[in-house]
Structure 1
Amino acid sequence: MASKGPDKSEKKMEKSRFSEGEKVLCYHGPLIYEAKCINVKISASGPEYLIHYNGWNKR
């Protein structure tokens, strides 16, 4: 059976620069920290990323 198009996870990969679970570098003020992309949400204004700075409190 042929697929009708890309599934939800493929659409996230097409429209977002970073994927869930990927290690990234993020600015926090004038400094750059290593972080991990926790979640990606695609909205009308573009992708939104939930990140966690490594070594920081989970809250």
Structure 2
Amino acid sequence: MLKELLRSKGVKQKWLANKIGVSEVSVSNWVKGKSEPTLKNYQKISDVLNIPLTELTN
């Protein structure tokens, strides 16, 4: 889901990582499904991408 969302918004993983204060490896692992963001990071992603939190967690 996150991979498609980033692509649709024209956002790079590195940019998102810098905006929310996590490593690029963390974002990469989320995109690959190797791990999940914390609720706090889900909220940061939601805020930065200007999307509802529910769009990330469905």
**TM-score (normalizing by structure 2):** 0.25
Pick the structure with more helix per residue.
2
Which of structures 1 and 2 has the larger relative contact order (alpha carbons within 8 angstroms, sep 6+)? 2
Which structure shows the higher strand fraction? 1
Normalised by the length of structure 1, the TM-score is 0.24
